[in-house]
C-alpha cells in the first residue's frame, strides 16, 4: 500500500549530516545521486572518520583510509564537498559543542534542507541503534533550529556566521517512521558503487557482503510504500509540505505536517516563528505503518550491527 508522500524537490541546496563514513551510503546515497543529477547542490558533514569501524585495523590507519573512501563514495554520487568534524568514532557525545559545530556548518552552507540519520533507540524491532547515530541525529535536528537564532551560540557571529533561517525541513534516514519517499528508480547502480567504495570497511567484515542485494531490498520495500519500483524513505520534520501542494499520504498521520512538532523554519523571524495556526497546532503525532527496517527471519543483520566485530581477511 502506498502510504508515503513524494518528497518535495523544490529546493537547491542540501546538507547531509551523519556520524560515520558509510552512514550515507546505506541510507540516502541513491537519493543524493538523483538530486545531483538534477543539478542540486549537496554537501556532506561527518562527525567522525569512522576510525573505530574496522576491528583488524588500528584507528590511526583506519581513520585516514576511511576519509578517502568517503570522499570517493561522495564523488560517485556527484558530491565534492565532504567535511569532517574531529570527533572520535564510537564516543560522540550529544551536547552543546556538537550542536554548535553543526549549527556553524548550517550557517556556512546555508542549505534549504538538511538530512541526517536515525536518532532513535532502534532501527526497528530490537535492532539497537548506535550511540553515535543517536547523538548526531538529535544534535542535527536541534542545530537546524539553533542556526536560525542569533542569540544561541553568539560566538558564531564573531566568526561572521550570520543566522540562517532557510532550512525548510530535516529528513531522517533509516527511520522506523518514514513519512515520505524519493523515487530512486534508475539510481541503484550509483548507490551500489557508492557503498562499495568503502572497500577497506567492507573487507573488514571478513565475509561476503551483497551491497546490491541489501540496497535493492530496502529500496524495493520503500518503493512499494511510495508507489514506484525503488525508493528511499525518510521521516520529514519541520516542514510545511501541505502549503507546497504535496498531498498528505493517506493513513500516515506522521505526514500531517500542519501538526508538525516544529515551526516552519524558512522565513520565520527567529525562534518560534511560523503561522499562528501552526503555533497552535504544534503537537507530536503518533506514527503508524510497517517498519522499514524490521528484521525478517531470513534477513542477514546489516553490517552496522556488527561493525568492528570481525577481522578482515588476511
Smaller CB distance to Zn ion: residue 23 or 51? 23
Nearest Cα residue to 127 out of 58, 174, 82, 189: 174
Q: How far is the CB of 277 from Zn ion (least distance, A)?
A: 38
Is 87 one of the binding residues for Zn ion (CB under 5 A)? no
Choose one: 9-17, 18-26, 157-165, 256-264; the region binding Zn ion (CB under 5 A).
18-26
Smaller CB distance to Zn ion: residue 54 or 254? 54
Name the DSSP letter for residue 274. Answer: S
Q: How far is the CB of 193 from Zn ion (least distance, A)?
A: 19
Structural contact between residues 132 and 123, judged by C-beta atoms closer than 8 angstroms:
no
Smaller CB distance to Zn ion: residue 11 or 44? 44
Q: How far is the CB of 163 from Zn ion (least distance, A)?
A: 30
Is 70 one of the binding residues for Zn ion (CB under 5 A)? no
Cα dist from 307 to 201, 203, 251, 311, whole Å: 9, 11, 36, 10
Query: How far is the C-alpha of 144 from the C-alpha of 131, rounded, in Å?
Result: 20
Q: How far is the CB of 79 from Zn ion (least distance, A)?
A: 17
Structural contact between residues 17 and 136, judged by C-beta atoms closer than 8 angstroms:
yes
The CB-nearest residue to Zn ion is: 20
Is 146 one of the binding residues for Zn ion (CB under 5 A)? no
Q: How far is the CB of 176 from Zn ion (least distance, A)?
A: 16
Is 119 one of the binding residues for Zn ion (CB under 5 A)? no
Is 51 one of the binding residues for Zn ion (CB under 5 A)? no
Cα atoms in the 13 Å half-sphere on the side-chain side of 260: 25
Query: How far is the C-alpha of 39 from the C-alpha of 135, rounded, in Å?
Result: 31
Q: How far is the CB of 82 from Zn ion (least distance, A)?
A: 15
Is 23 one of the binding residues for Zn ion (CB under 5 A)? yes
Percent helix / strand / coil, the chain, rounded to 5: 35, 15, 50
**Residues near Zn ion, by CB under 5 A:** 19-20, 23
Amino acid at each position: 500500500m502506498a502510504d508515503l508522500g513524494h518528497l518535495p524537490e523544490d529546493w537547491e541546496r542540501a546538507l547531509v549530516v551523519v556520524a560515520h563514513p558509510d552512514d550515507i551510503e546505506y541510507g540516502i546515497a541513491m537519493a543524493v545521486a538523483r538530486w545531483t543529477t538534477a543539478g542540486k547542490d549537496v554537501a556532506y558533514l561527518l562527525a567522525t572518520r569512522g576510525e573505530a569501524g574496522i576491528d583488524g585495523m588500528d584507528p590511526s590507519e583506519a581513520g585516514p583510509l576511511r576519509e578517502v573512501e568517503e570522499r570517493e563514495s561522495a564523488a560517485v554520487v556527484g558530491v565534492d564537498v565532504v567535511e569532517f568534524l574531529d570527533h572520535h568514532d564510537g564516543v560522540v557525545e550529544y551536547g552543546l559543542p556538537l550542536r554548535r559545530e553543526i549549527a556553524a556548518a548550517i550557517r556556512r552552507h546555508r542549505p534549504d534542507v538538511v538530512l541526517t540519520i536515525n536518532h532513535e533507540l532502534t532501527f526497528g524491532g530490537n535492532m539497537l541503534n548506535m550511540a553515535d547515530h543517536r547523538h548526531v541525529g538529535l544534535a542535527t535536528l536541534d542545530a537546524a533550529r539553533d542556526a536560525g537564532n542569533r542569540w544561541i551560540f553568539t560566538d558564531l557571529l564573531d566568526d561572521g556566521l550570520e543566522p540562517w533561517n532557510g532550512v525548510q525541513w530535516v529528513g531522517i534516514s533509516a527511520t522506523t517512521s518514514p513519512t515520505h519517499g524519493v523515487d530512486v528508480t534508475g539510481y541503484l547502480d550509483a548507490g551500489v558503487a557508492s557503498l562499495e567504495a568503502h572497500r577497506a570497511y567492507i573487507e573488514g567484515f571478513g565475509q561476503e557482503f551483497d551491497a546490491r542485494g541489501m540496497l535493492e531490498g530496502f529500496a524495493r520495500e520503500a518503493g512499494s510504500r511510495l508507489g514506484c519500483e525503488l525508493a528511499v524513505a525518510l521521516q520529514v520534520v519541520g516542514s510545511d509540505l501541505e502549503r507546497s501542494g504535496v498531498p498528505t499520504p493517506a493513513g500516515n498521520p506522521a505526514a500531517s505536517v500542519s501538526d508538525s512538532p516544529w515551526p516552519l523554519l524558512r522565513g520565520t523571524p527567529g525562534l518560534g516563528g511560523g503561522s499562528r495556526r501552526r503555533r497552535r497546532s504544534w503537537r507530536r503525532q503518533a506514527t503508524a505503518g510497517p517498519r522499514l527496517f524490521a528484521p525478517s527471519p531470513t534477513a542477514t543483520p546489516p553490517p552496522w550491527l556488527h561493525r568492528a566485530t570481525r577481522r578482515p581477511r588476511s
